[in-house]
């Protein structure tokens, strides 16, 4: 169940035929976002004008609307078969919470948030994972000796009669290390998505104004590349912090099982 699609939509049986179409749409959208990154600053200031102007930003809206329309249809299907006592996926859980808080006018659990949250999780969980897997395969082709060691460990722990699963991770330290090295090597998202604060924040000698949008640099956290004199190689010694990403298991699990299966 570490597939983003299965976590969001439940059984992949009915969704699988549309998965490749969805991933294609997501990839096209991310490509446009990358191309139009600087234009987002203008859009945030003049959105009411750009909506009426021609340009590639309109293609981004088309791709976004197509994926959200698919999500809306999936939500309707889930509403028809919802059993609050036995939720099957993220959409079921969100719908159940909507029913619980239907009398709360300030609740964040409403239809717009459901569609938007599902959309965000799908984009974040499929595009980055599939791109990491693609780059991982290219790196393994470049380093065949590493590939042989990974294959040997998978054959020894998993065998050839079943697919690898996340539970195998603790028994495959070399493969797990290779997955982490792939993620470190490619720096998949050098510029993070824009973030905003809900009130003025004082951080060290800086003030981050309320509602101002910031785009953190992922490259700035790779400080170890600029500090060759650091010799402490203990696990976690070069980590930028102790707070783990709350959903890091999703992409890591997907990459581990996918790379192992391939």
**H/E element, 176:** helix 173-186
Residues 81 and 173 in one domain: no
Identify whether the C-beta of residue 56 lies closer than 8 Å to the C-beta of residue 35: yes
Residues 177 and 207 in one domain: no
- Asked if residue 236 is part of any domain, the answer here is no
Q: To the nearest 10°, the Cα dihedral for 223, 224, 228, 233?
A: 150
Residues 37 and 149 in one domain: no
Specify the pLDDT at position 2. Answer: 47
Residues 92 and 160 in one domain: no
Residues 198 and 253 in one domain: no
**H/E element, 50:** helix 39-50
Residues 102 and 68 in one domain: yes
Within 8 A by CB and 6+ apart from 140, the residues are 146, 147, 150, 178, 259
- Asked if residue 22 is part of any domain, the answer here is yes
- Asked if residue 135 is part of any domain, the answer here is no
Residues 15 and 100 in one domain: yes
CA atoms within 13 A on the CB side of 36: 19
Query: The whole model's pTM is what?
Result: 0.66
Specify the pLDDT at position 8. Answer: 84
Specify the pLDDT at position 166. Answer: 80
- Asked if residue 133 is part of any domain, the answer here is no
Within 8 A by CB and 6+ apart from 108, the residues are none
Residues 4 and 60 in one domain: yes
Residues 107 and 83 in one domain: yes
Per-residue pLDDT of the chain (262 residues; tens, 9 = 90+): 346 777 888 765 555 556 666 666 666 666 655 555 555 556 666 666 766 777 666 777 777 888 888 899 989 999 999 998 999 899 999 999 999 999 999 899 999 999 999 988 887 777 777 788 888 889 999 999 999 999 999 999 988 888 888 888 889 999 989 988 888 887 776 666 677 788 898 888 888 888 776 666 666 555 555 455 555 555 554 455 544 554 555 555 556 655 555 5
Residues 162 and 200 in one domain: no
- Asked if residue 227 is part of any domain, the answer here is no
Specify the pLDDT at position 157. Answer: 92
- Asked if residue 18 is part of any domain, the answer here is yes
Residues 197 and 180 in one domain: no
The position carrying tokens 């999936």 is: 74
- Asked if residue 106 is part of any domain, the answer here is yes
Number of domains the chain contains: 3
Give the structural domain span for 45: 1-128
Specify the pLDDT at position 15. Answer: 56
Handedness of CA 45, 49, 51, 57 (dihedral sign): negative
What whole-number distance in Å separates Cα of residue 154 and Cα of residue 163?
A: 10
Last-in-domain residue among 128, 151, 178: 128
- Asked if residue 238 is part of any domain, the answer here is no
Tokens of 241: 């912090």
What whole-number distance in Å separates Cα of residue 25 and Cα of residue 64?
A: 8
Residues 86 and 5 in one domain: yes
């Amino acid at each position: 169940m570490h597939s983003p699609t299965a976590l969001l939509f439940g059984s992949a049986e009915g969704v699988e035929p549309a998965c490749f179409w969805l991933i294609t749409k997501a990839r096209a959208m991310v490509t446009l976002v990358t191309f139009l990154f600087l234009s987002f600053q203008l859009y945030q200031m003049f959105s009411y004008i750009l909506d009426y102007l021609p340009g590639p930003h309109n293609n981004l809206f088309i791709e976004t609307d197509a994926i959200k329309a698919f999500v809306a249809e999936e939500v309707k299907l889930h509403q028809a078969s919802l059993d609050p006592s036995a939720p099957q996926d993220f959409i079921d859980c969100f719908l159940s919470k909507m029913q619980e808080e239907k009398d709360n006018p300030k609740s964040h659990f409403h239809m717009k948030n459901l569609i938007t949250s599902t959309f965000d999780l799908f984009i974040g969980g499929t595009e980055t994972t599939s791109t990491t897997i693609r780059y991982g395969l290219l790196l393994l082709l470049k380093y065949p000796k590493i590939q042989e060691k990974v294959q040997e460990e998978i054959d020894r722990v998993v065998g050839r009669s079943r697919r690898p699963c996340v539970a195998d991770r603790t028994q495959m330290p070399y493969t797990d290390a290779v997955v982490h090295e792939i993620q470190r090597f490619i720096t998949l998202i050098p510029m993070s998505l824009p973030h905003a604060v809900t009130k003025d924040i004082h951080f060290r000698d800086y003030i981050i104004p309320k509602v101002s949008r910031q785009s953190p640099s992922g490259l700035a956290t790779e400080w170890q590349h600029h500090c060759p004199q650091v010799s402490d190689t203990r696990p976690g010694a070069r980590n930028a912090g102790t707070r783990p990403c709350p959903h890091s298991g999703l992409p890591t699990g997907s990459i581990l099982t996918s790379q192992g299966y391939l």
